[in-house]
Structure 1
Amino acid sequence: MTSAEPLLATSGLTREFGGITAVDDVDFALADGELCSVIGPNGAGKTTFFNLLTGVLEPTRGTVEFSPSDRDGRVDVTDASPHETALLGLHRSYQITNVFPTVSVLENVRIAVQAHRGNDTWRFWRNVHAFDDHFVEAERILERIGLAESADRPAETLSHGEKRSLEIGIALAGDPDLLLLDEPTAGVSSEDVAQVTALIEDVAADHAIMLIEHNMDVVMGISDRVVVLDRGELIADSDPATVRESEAVQRAYLGGYEDDGASDAGAGVTAG
């Protein structure tokens, strides 16, 4: 478990859909600076868990609390909207690439930066030069994610791996305290997986990160901590080596996964 003053904490978090319990009484805490992977078989409740943390879904019962860096103490975000959680510093990406395809790479990030500057968000009729500081921030983010040379390209012309990097850049807009990444290497070529993984590790140097991921080489290679969900229940929560050796996790999910010692995160071994 994490420290007594976590960045994010849930208590008894539960979401039911009719007779199905997708997330079942989950107590969870994340420390500032952690890189935590959430794994589990299909239908385990991973994306539902993310949706509850970010206000996309309301829990049937339980609470979610967040500790923004610009406030003292925790904020109850159980009933907050996605927009409210984002403004507090809890940002996320999605399984499906979510960018404006016909807009330039730079504009995709610039729009995200504007969206997280509360007072400027809806001032569409101002002169574009009034947003020079937004462009400066967007350009800084593009440098970090390795897409500065593609700034003027329409986002739809990027490779799938580059689009995933762009999504991380969009999630970085507003300098969040916590990034939630939903399958950041899904659909990415083996050549690009290493690039996306290196970017996640770089971002983790100054941001807390939670990610849902099926590529076990990525999970075991970069995570400080691995949380395993099965049928909505949290069945394991420890360091990668301990989780890999857990009999309960082997039965529920990892099956035949073996760490072959390869350092190439692009090997693409998956489980589930």
Structure 2
Amino acid sequence: MLRTRGLTKDFGGLTAVDSVDFELASELTSLIGPNGAGKTTFFNLLTGVLEPTAGSVELREGDDWVDITDAAPHETAQRGIHRSYQVTNVFPNSSVLENVRIAEQAAGEDSHAIWRNVDYFEKYTERAYSRLDRVGLADRAADDASTLSHGAKRKLEVAIALAGDPSVLLLDEPNAGVSSESVDEVRSLVEDVAADHAVLLVEHNMDIVMDVSERVVVLHQGRVIADGEPAAVRADPDVQSAYLGGYEPGDLDDAATDETDAGEGAA
């Protein structure tokens, strides 16, 4: 579905992503690593937010691989690569429904048709309701997004990312800041959308990563140091040394969950 070859990003003397060869199939793959490992930078390269220093990004369309290395963010989105963000990113003063309807329109053929009667956009409204129903927010459609709990806003972000029915979803810490009561709901939602989308998930909660992932890729100092099934990655001594530090199933990495991955904004 999506692949990189020799993908590299330098910031002055710092190499944030270092010659990464990666391929995402129709699966749920988690991308993990310590803060500053390059995870968010990698997402930004995949979606056109950043231009790589070297290497390529390709998207599978039918039987062909299409080079999208130089595509702008709106172009990668139109081609079917959608993402959520580490920091909640919704229109707080618009209704829950309107947040998703706007995303549906932006992903459709009427992205520039602004001055139309609202009835013209009925098809996008119907699609938006469908997305909200899938994430469990249909009953909050008329509410302002600002009134949602943090966990519900995370669900809304997933609904927005689903607009236009993308082929690839990049989910950047969907559980960040979510209360312990809502973690299982977000986990179930991630598993649900992975049933019919290729999903690349950045997540610090190792219980979730090891439970939901079909594959785990580990970045350390911009390089891939492990790539495989969760059990094999968990047992890898290099991964234990660089990141997991003796993690065993059931040990929630609370300290990492509370961090904001601030270093990755520049890395």
In structure 1, the partner of 2:265 is: none
Does the 8 Å CA contact 1:254/1:271 hold for their aligned counterparts?
A: no
- Equivalences for residues 1-272 of structure 1 within 5 A: 7-31=1-25, 33-68=26-61, 71-117=62-108, 119-260=109-250, 268-270=252-254, 272=256
Q: Once the 2 structures are TM-superposed, how far is the Cα of residue 72 of structure 1 from its aligned partner?
A: 4.2
Q: Once the 2 structures are TM-superposed, how far is the Cα of residue 34 of structure 1 from its aligned partner?
A: 0.6
Structure with the bigger RCO (C-alpha within 8 Å, sep 6+) is 2
CA separation of 1:270 and 1:219: change in aligned 2, threshold 3 A:
farther
Can you give the 5+ residue segments of structure 2 that lack an aligned partner in the other structure? 257-267
d(CA) in 1 for partners of 2:208 and 2:72? 31
For 1:205, give the aligned amino acid. A
Q: Normalising by structure 1, what TM-score?
A: 0.92
Q: Once the 2 structures are TM-superposed, how far is the Cα of residue 123 of structure 1 from its aligned partner?
A: 1.5
Cα deviation 1:181-222 (Å, max 9, x = unaligned): 001000000110100010110111111100111010110010
Q: Once the 2 structures are TM-superposed, how far is the Cα of residue 83 of structure 1 from its aligned partner?
A: 0.3
Q: Name the SS for the 2:153 alignment partner.
A: helix
Q: Normalising by structure 2, what TM-score?
A: 0.94
Q: Once the 2 structures are TM-superposed, how far is the Cα of residue 268 of structure 1 from its aligned partner?
A: 4.4
d(CA) in 2 for partners of 1:63 and 1:190? 39
CA separation of 1:270 and 1:228: change in aligned 2, threshold 3 A:
farther
In structure 2, the partner of 1:263 is: none
CA separation of 1:271 and 1:12: change in aligned 2, threshold 3 A:
farther
Q: Once the 2 structures are TM-superposed, how far is the Cα of residue 271 of structure 1 from its aligned partner?
A: 6.6
Q: Once the 2 structures are TM-superposed, how far is the Cα of residue 269 of structure 1 from its aligned partner?
A: 3.1
For 2:53, give the aligned amino acid. T
Q: Which runs of 4+ in 1 moved over 4 A?
A: none
Can you give the 5+ residue segments of structure 1 that lack an aligned partner in the other structure? 1-6, 261-266
Q: Name the SS for the 1:185 alignment partner.
A: coil
Q: Once the 2 structures are TM-superposed, how far is the Cα of residue 270 of structure 1 from its aligned partner?
A: 4.3
RMSD: 1.1
Q: Once the 2 structures are TM-superposed, how far is the Cα of residue 30 of structure 1 from its aligned partner?
A: 1.0
Q: How many residues align?
A: 256
